[in-house]
Amino acid sequence: MRGVDLIPSVNVADEERSELELALRPSVMAGPLAAALHRAGLAPSNGGPACHILDVRYEPGERCTILYELGDCLALGTLVWGAARERTGEAGGCVVAPRMRVDFFPADPAMPGLATAMRPEKMVAALGDVLAGCREGEWRGARCRVTALRYRPGRRCTLRLELWTRHAGTGVLGSRTLFGKVYHSTEKARSVFEQMQTLSDVIRPRAGRLVVARVAGFLPDLPMVVQEPLQGVPLDLLLHRTNGPTGVDRRGERGVVMAGAALTVLHGLDLTHPRRRSIGEELQRMAYRSRPAARVDPGLGARMADLAAVLLHCFEPLSREGGKQRIVHADCKPSQFLIDGTKVGLLDFDHAGMADPALDVGTFMASLRQLGCRRSPKARRPTVSNMDRWMCLERSFLDSYCRSTDVDDDFRQRAVWYEAFALLRKAQRAFARSFRSPVAGLLVDEARLCLLSVDARGAS
């Protein structure tokens, strides 16, 4: 996201509105952020680095976190209002206008271990304690290069770890590439580690169409889960390569079909997970999140609340028809799948739990529809031909899944309901990231269309 326009007149407190108007202008924030960067000793005093906004997480009436790119540095700005200000205060980091607390990456108040994880000498020692071969003394860590790949402030950060080692007996140098994910809590990291360990033990010996990364170690003090790399091309990249004006690259079409078949392998595992994903409770949270959204956009907030109520009304009969609960990925989308020949890799089990498998299928379909909405960013509505293309991919995914496993007659209807459910969740996330963008409203409209198709099938 390269900058955010000045928001129009909104129905929020004057103080909140004025602070947001300043914070969301990169040209205005460049000076204060550069001065804070210089005071922290992280940049030379001469020259003004370009400022861009990479991410926004806005909770009306509570807080807004903004991730800025300032030259080669990342700055995390936090604004808080009302009761949230009383709870958190303004401790830590530095404060710049408009009363924003700023922390420079890798400093993150919610992830104190991240700064340590970004220090190569610390990672050499830490990896030496957990990696096979190094732990037994056969290999000794020599140096490590740490590169941040994906950062979600306050929650997690994915790192590429390039480790060079020396054999204790021969002195021969070796190298390996690993991936580490730093979390905001030890409990969360431990849960992911244990689940990934179980999955890799169960899935790898089968040598089937689905593969998952092998866990290489757990560093509770950071806390970080370390895993081996997986081969393949991310499916979302294949979907973004168009085959001329007629549609998606055929490798993307084939990848969608492969992903549908591979997902049945996960759902077919005889495994349990301690987390039970309560869809009813999540719908209630969605309804609650619609209220503060109405402070900014009353119309959109009302539409979100109404959609949550309709989903909740439809959920009870659908849940009675639902099949046996299985282990699910719960964040199933094209970017989580790696296509490598006839193999499909599945990443990121942070949200895994027990639920109706139709949850994963509907979530993946919603992600495809979301991509269709994003492909026409300047249009208030995506073109019919563009949406038809992505809806065709949805049907291909659903057909592939259903052909590859034994599902009941109601599964397709449940999958479409879960698609609408996921589209509302995506709409609320889109609003939190860019509340002036039309995308949130488009996703609500698409969720409504999904529910109409569920009603039509139910009446037939």
CATH at residue 397: 3.90.1200.10
The mean pLDDT value of the chain amounts to 87
Number of domains within the chain: 3
Q: Within a domain: residue 8?
A: no
State whether 352 and 207 are in the same domain.
no
State whether 325 and 410 are in the same domain.
yes
Ramachandran sector of residue 341 (left: φ over 0; alpha: ψ -120 to 50; beta: rest): left
Q: What is the pLDDT of residue 420?
A: 97
What confidence tier does 405 reach under pLDDT thresholds 50, 70, 90?
Answer: very high
Q: Within a domain: residue 447?
A: yes
User: Could you list the residue range(s) of the whole structural domain that residue 48 is in?
Assistant: 14-104
Q: Dump pLDDT digits (tens) for 60-87.
A: 989 999 999 998 899 999 999 976 665 5
State whether 204 and 321 are in the same domain.
no
- Per the DSSP assignment, residues forming a β-bridge with 162 are 145, 177
State whether 217 and 267 are in the same domain.
no
Q: Within a domain: residue 5?
A: no
Q: What is the pLDDT of residue 398?
A: 97
Q: Within a domain: residue 4?
A: no
What average pLDDT does the segment 317-336 reach?
A: 84
Q: Which range, of 14-28, 60-74, 377-391, averages the lowest pLDDT?
A: 377-391
Q: Dump pLDDT digits (tens) for 332-343.
A: 999 999 999 999
State whether 193 and 96 are in the same domain.
no
Indicate whether 116 pLDDT > 80.
yes
Report the percent of the chain where pLDDT is more than 70.
86
Indicate whether 455 pLDDT > 50.
yes
Q: Of 104, 134, 154, which residue is a domain's last?
A: 104
Q: Within a domain: residue 132?
A: yes
State whether 360 and 455 are in the same domain.
yes
What confidence tier does 8 reach under pLDDT thresholds 50, 70, 90?
Answer: very low
Q: What is the pLDDT of residue 46?
A: 55
Interstrand relation of 63-70 and 51-59 (parallel, antiparallel or unpaired):
antiparallel
Indicate whether 377 pLDDT > 80.
no
CB hemisphere CA count around 303 (13 angstroms): 19
Q: Which residue has the higher pLDDT, 393 or 204?
A: 393
User: Where does residue 202 rank: exposed (0-12), middle (13-18), buried (19+ CB within 10 A)?
Assistant: middle
Q: Within a domain: residue 3?
A: no
Indicate whether 379 pLDDT > 80.
no
State whether 77 and 126 are in the same domain.
no
State whether 357 and 404 are in the same domain.
yes
